[in-house]
Amino acid sequence: MTEITSLVQVVVSGILTGGVYAIVGIGLSLIFGVMRVVNFAHGEFLALGMYAALFLFSRFHLDPYLASIIVLPAAMLLGYAAEKLFIAPIAHAPEHSSILMTVGLGLVISNLLLFGFGAQPQSIYTVYSTSTLRLGAVTFSLPLTVSFLITVGAIAGLYAVLTRTEVGRAMRATAQNRDAAELVGVNTAQIRGLAFGIGTALAMLAGTLLLPVLYVIPTVGGVFTLKAFVVTVLAGMGNVLGAIGGGLILGVAESLGATYVSSGYRDAFGLIAFLLVLLFKPAGLFGRSRV
């Protein structure tokens, strides 16, 4: 009975962490699905979200979860502007141009963070940082539970936008066939900017949600860019809804591996799942491109 309870505890912890991974992966999948651009700066935008929440907490004592109300719209505008300034001018260039551009953008962001905040790890402490909830014999980390619920709300909101609004229909049309979408009057240039803005906002939202439970350093973005790619490949490149499953699988795989094998190789278990999916199901577990 104790072993079963321990297993349930590990799986629950993995699901809560996987929820945050999912929202990171959804942002990357949305950008790829609509724009066919692999955003190598995705993790750096997440780091930017962490530092934005850190700044608001240290200067104005604003809770990270409340800070997300400010960070989200600012992140969307930032992502939209970044697409217009850096990605749109090379939209018709060979694919490697956008890869190099996003790699460069990520380097610029991480170095600006290093210049502005220094290289030392930083964290915050809130009254709930180490709090837990209990359901029977299973405990839930309070900050991860709140993060998971906010993630569920954000995913539900994005799903409603994609399926029930004109903007969402235009976005899905652009993802399916850009030329055909333009023929029926969709402004695909605006839609591409909007997709990059939403993807950036989701990455920075994940950063604000992770700040209460993680240290932040300027180079933390690289780790989360890698996790976002793992989620995207598990889900299938460009499959936005599949990224939910990909994030949960990654979170549970890491949690099980860290508990029953070695916590020192926690990140390696996600990479093993990544390689296995590439070998045996290269289109991803849920198929490609379904925005």
The pLDDT of 185-199, averaged and rounded, is 95
Between 6-20, 100-114, 162-176, 277-291, the lowest mean confidence (pLDDT) is in: 277-291
The confidence score (pLDDT) of residue 130 equals 84
The confidence score (pLDDT) of residue 291 equals 61
Note whether 228 and 278 are within 8 A (CB).
no
pLDDT tens digit sequence for 131-173: 888 888 888 889 999 999 999 999 999 999 999 999 999 999 9
- pLDDT bin (cut points 50, 70, 90) of residue 114 is very high
Q: Alpha-carbon distance 269 to 277, whole Å? A: 12
What would the DSSP string read from start to end of 149-186? HHHHHHHHHHHHHHHHSHHHHHHHHHHH-HHHHHHTT-
The confidence score (pLDDT) of residue 81 equals 97
At residue 92, φ and ψ (nearest 5 deg) are -105, 5
The pLDDT of 277-288, averaged and rounded, is 76
Q: Is the pLDDT of residue 95 over 90?
A: no
* Element containing residue 30 per DSSP (H, E): helix 2-35
Note whether 97 and 35 are within 8 A (CB).
no
* 91: its two tokens: 């939209």
At residue 232, φ and ψ (nearest 5 deg) are -65, -40
Note whether 250 and 152 are within 8 A (CB).
no
Between 92-106, 211-225, 258-272, the lowest mean confidence (pLDDT) is in: 258-272
Closest by CA to 205, choosing from 133, 150, 123, is: 150
CA dihedral 82, 21, 282, 277 (to 10 degrees): 150
Q: Mean pLDDT for the chain?
A: 90
Q: Is the pLDDT of residue 192 over 90?
A: yes
The confidence score (pLDDT) of residue 96 equals 86
Q: Alpha-carbon distance 34 to 24, whole Å? A: 16
pLDDT tens digit sequence for 221-241: 999 998 998 888 888 777 887
The pLDDT of 52-57, averaged and rounded, is 96
Q: Is the pLDDT of residue 287 over 70?
A: no
Residue 10, burial from CB neighbour count under 10 angstroms (0-12, 13-18, 19+) = middle
The confidence score (pLDDT) of residue 119 equals 92
